[in-house]
Structure formats: structure tokens, C-alpha cells
Chain A
Amino acid sequence: MRAGVLRAPSPLPGFGLSFGIMMAVLSVVVLLPIMALLGRGVVIGPAELWEMVGTKRIRAALSLSFRAALIASVFNLVFGLLLAWVLVRYRFWGRRLIDAAIDLPFALPTAVAGIALTALYAPNGAFGALLAPFGIKVAYTQIGIWLALIFIGLPFVVRTVQPVIEELDREVEEASATLGASRAYTLRRVVLPTLTPALLTGFALALARSVGEYGSVIFIAGNLPFQTEIAPLLIVIRLEEYNYDAATAIGLAMLLISFAMLLAINIIQIWSRRRIGDV
């Protein structure tokens, strides 16, 4: 595209119509509500917002949401890499079933996942009863929140890393082996660096999703203020009290986290394109 030209000439028709539909829908469905949220924040004023976000209960909820999402996403980073590797490289009975099942958290409504996990891990549930003698409580504790977020974020790393492993050139690994590298050394120094951008992208996507997750968490969390109350739940509580200003303050803080994640994902992708070409 030449500098100074907004749109490069193209012989194909339909730019006006398709671009028009896209911008109209994007504006009404996504941008207008986001603007309303930002606008409300401007009306409230930054000092007030900052003060509200600083109150103990909101700070506790935001930090819990972020911490739990971080823990779950780190677990999913490691487990997702393992899953992707095993699914692409090994042949075993049931591989296709597991491969298809990976997307279950995408397809299963979050409320369904929430009550199912709670039924399993409640003190009288199948897994809860097994863990109880060891003094491990999962439902209605922070561990329950981690579990729900692990469930929700599971597919992201697998699905971003899997295609990259599929396209890995085995000859590179052979070359590394003929040069005397052990298998572990090859994996660490040859394979892992190639997978890093995809791993980071999957991690960021999982993190972004789990920070804002609501449906699957609220059933299993117990929802005690300062202990197991996540930020999205506090928004719902404040809205039910018609405290729109406090809800806006939490919402804006979470929106800021979302924007930071999107920025991070874009930066990772630009960086990986520069490093190993367009993936």
C-alpha cells in the first residue's frame, strides 16, 4: 500500500457494503457499550475511581481473580504443552477421543461446568469424599476456583501449540541428535524455543479468559468476601445494590486488564513473526 492512500485500489466489488456492515455491527454491538462504560468512568472521575478500586473488598476481589487466573494458566501452560506433544507425537488407543474432548470447555456452557465441578468436589461428591479424609477441601475454597479456571482455560494452550508441533521439522531434531545432543537437550534447546511464541500466545489467551470468568467459578467458589469472592461476582453484587459507580470502577479495572492482555498477545505475535516468519 502506498503511503497516504487509505485504501489500495482493488478490482473486486463489495467494499462499501461489507465494510459498512462490519463497522455498523461492530459499533453498535461492541464499541457503543464499551464507550458507555468508559464514559461513565469519565463522569465519575479518576480520583473517585481510584479510591473505589482501592477499597479493601474490591482490591481483594481483583487480586484474587488475577492470582487464581495466573495459577490456573501456569498449570495449563505446562499441561497444555504436554497434552499437545502427546497428542501430536504419540500414537495410542483413545488418542482421537482425547483430541476431540479437548474442546469440551469451549462447547460446554460455563454454568453447566460450574455445577458439575461442584457436584464432584463438594464434601459429599465423588471426588470430594475421596479427598476429605486427607483434609483437602476443594469446593468452596480457592482451590475450587483454580480448578474451575483450569477447566475453562485448558483448550487454549493445546490448540495454539498443537499446529506448531505438527509442522516441526523432525530433521532438525535428527541433526541435533547426530551432533551429539541428548534427547532432553534437544527438546530444551531446539524444540522448546520454536514453540515459545505459541506457548505464550496460548497462555495469554487462557489468562485473559480466566481473569474474567464468572459462570463456572461462582458455583464452586463459596463466594465469601475477602476469601473466595472474584471480581466479576463483585460487579454483579454491586449492580444488584444499584451501586453503579462501584460496579463501573471494577469493570474499568477489568477492562484495563483485558486491553493489556490484547496488547501482550499482539506484541507476542509481531515478535514471533519477526523471529520465525509468519505462523
Chain B
Amino acid sequence: MSEVSSIARTPSVTTEPRLIRTLLIGTVVVLISVLLFAPLIAVFSEALRQGWVAALESLTSPDARAAIGLTLIISAIVVPFNAVFGVAAAWAITKFDFRGKAFLITLIDLPFSVSPVVAGLALVLLFGANSWLGAWLIAHDLKIVFAFPSIVLATLFVTFPFVARELIPVMIEQGRAEEEAALTLGASGWRIFFTVTLPNIRWALLYGVLLCNARAMGEFGAVAVISGKIRGETTTMPIMIEMLYNEYLSVAAFTLAAALALLALVTLVLKSLLEWRYADLLAATRRH
């Protein structure tokens, strides 16, 4: 970065005047503080408004514990599932050429641009009592809507593209030559995957899993529509936050929110570490 620092010292034609630079940096710092840092601080200060004891007590209430447990179980199911799907999709898309590939990638991206509430609505229409599938399920005593399975399905929908989206650009960049070389040396398909492909994509995979997990634990809109909000049964942490907030239990709501905000901070720290250490391996990833 010696080139950059010399630019900073001497007036250069490829940068802006000093005054403008200072003004722009100042604007950025102020706006980011107001827009991003202030809300984050607000979460923690509201949670601790009545001290640590009150905050910790609200975290150990049966409702809060049930919500935390449910959220952990949901992400423990959804994240591995999406990791397997993401790897399979990336393998099929990057190692082979077939018709309709671009369309398929667009379909994988679809959940990014569909409103989570619309996703929840679609699941209600598919499995709800009014559809023939829903009627059949009810006749066989299988509960999907307003129960655990629907929360899993809704979370799967909204986190669907995360892992695949991180892997595809990295695997395109790395090409197929290494796998083909392994093949000529007599390696089996699984051996190629585990000893050649996986080491190449592990950081991108971890990166995708990290983002997927953050979203899985924090999803609100889709789950709000489909969970039925049965206290202690189908209330995930974000749903519980809404219920507590609407009951004016501010400390309890913000304490749960602070727990999720901590998770977000851990995610950001890990993500930044990955980006600084393995920048070249993730280079393709950062472009989306």
C-alpha cells in the first residue's frame, strides 16, 4: 500500500482535493454512526436499562428459554440442509454445461427478491386447511402450518440461496482442471470431492454457512406468517421479541434482541476475519 500512502502525502491528479476528502470522510463517519452504530448501541442500552440482573432474569424465563431452544433447533436443521444443497447445486452448475443453466441460477436467487411475507403466505396456501394437500394432511393428523415443520420450511425458503450463492462464483473461478487431473489419476467421485474440491472451497463454504446461520436465526417475516405464534411452542426468538415488545415488556424484548445482536456481531467479526485472511480465496465471492 506504499503507492496509496504516497498519494495521500503529495497532491495527485487521481484523487480529490484534501478539503473534499475530509468532508466526504466526515459525512461517511457521521452517517454510519447514526444509521448503524446508534441502533446497535440502543439495543444494548435498552436491554440493560434496569441492570444486568433484570436482563439475565428475563433471559431465563420459560418463554425466553423455549424461544432460544427453538431458534437453535431450527438453525441446526436448516443450516446443514442448505449447506448440502448449496454444495450440490454449485457442483452441478459449475462442473457441467447444460441447457437452462442461467435460468436455474435465477431460480436459486428467487428467494432473495421475494418478500418473506409472500413466502410465508405461499406456504400457508400450500399446506393450509383450504388446500387439498392441507386437507389431506389434517385428515392424517399431520400438522404443518402453525407448527414446527412450517417454521423449518419458511426458514429454508428465505435462507435457500446463501450457500450456493457464495460457492458458485468461487468454483467457477477455480475451474475444473484439478478435478479432471484427479480423475485421470484414478480417484473416485467422492475422493475427488473431499480431497480436491472441498479444501479449495472450505472458506467460501464457511462464509456461506455463517451468513445462512445469521439469517436462519433472525428470520422474522416468513416465520411470523406461518408460525401461528403459539407461546412456548412456535415462538422463535424474533417472534418472541415482537410479542414481548407489544406487551410493553421492553427489557425482556431488548434482552432477547441483544442476544441476537451479539450473534450478529460474532458473525460480522468472523466474516471480517475470513475476508482479511483468505481474501484471495473469497475474491470472487465479494462481487455479488
Contacts and interface: CB of A to CB of B under 8 A. Distances in A.
Contacts of A276: none
Interface in B124-163: 124-126, 128, 130-131, 153, 156-157, 160
B236 to A, nearest CB: 10
Interface residues of A, number: 102
B180 A21 contact: no
Given A1-B99, A10-B97, A262-B113, 13 more contacts: A7-B98, A15-B92, A18-B87, A26-B89, A33-B126, A33-B157, A99-B272, A101-B268, A110-B238, A117-B39, A247-B121, A251-B117, A251-B122
Given A1-B99, A21-B84, A117-B39, A33 B122 contact: yes
Given A116-B257, A215-B221, A29 B156 contact: yes
B238 A236 contact: no
A259 to B, nearest CB: 8
Contact of A100 (B17, B156, B268): B268
A258 B113 contact: yes
Contact of A214 (B15, B40, B224): B224
A244 B25 CA distance: 50
Interface of B: 1, 4-5, 8, 13-17, 21, 24-25, 27-29, 31-32, 34-40, 42-43, 46, 81, 84-85, 87-89, 91-93, 95-99, 102, 104, 106-119, 121-126, 128, 130-131, 153, 156-157, 160, 176, 179-180, 183, 188-189, 192-193, 211, 214-215, 217-221, 224-225, 237-239, 241-242, 245, 253-254, 257, 260-261, 263-265, 267-269, 271-272, 286-288
B87 to A, nearest CB: 8
A106 to B, nearest CB: 7
Interface of A: 1, 6-8, 10-15, 17-19, 21-22, 25-26, 29-34, 36-37, 39-40, 79, 82-83, 85-87, 89-92, 94, 96, 98-113, 115-117, 119-120, 125-127, 150-151, 154, 159-160, 162-163, 170, 173-174, 177-178, 183, 205, 208-209, 211-215, 219, 232-233, 235-236, 239, 244, 247-248, 251, 254-255, 258, 261-262, 265-266, 279
Interface SS majority for chain B: helix
A118 to B, nearest CB: 8
Contact of B261 (A108, A244, A248): A108
B112 A209 contact: yes
A109 B214 CA distance: 8
A232 B24 contact: no
A107 B264 contact: yes
Contacts of A219: 242, 245
A165 B125 CA distance: 45
B250 to A, nearest CB: 8
Contacts of A120: 38-39, 42
A88 B253 CA distance: 38
Contacts of A205: 112-113
B189 A14 contact: yes
Given A14-B193, A151-B39, A111 B238 contact: yes
A184 to B, nearest CB: 9
A52 B4 CA distance: 59
Given A18-B91, A162-B286, A177 B217 contact: no
B80 to A, nearest CB: 13
Nearest to B71: A109
B36 A109 contact: no
A79 B32 CA distance: 10
Contacts of A1: 97-99
Contacts of A215: 116, 220-221, 224, 238
Contacts of B27: 82
B14 A30 contact: no
Contacts of B109: 262
Contacts of B245: 115, 219
Contacts of B221: 110, 212-215, 232
Contacts of A125: 42
B121 A251 contact: yes
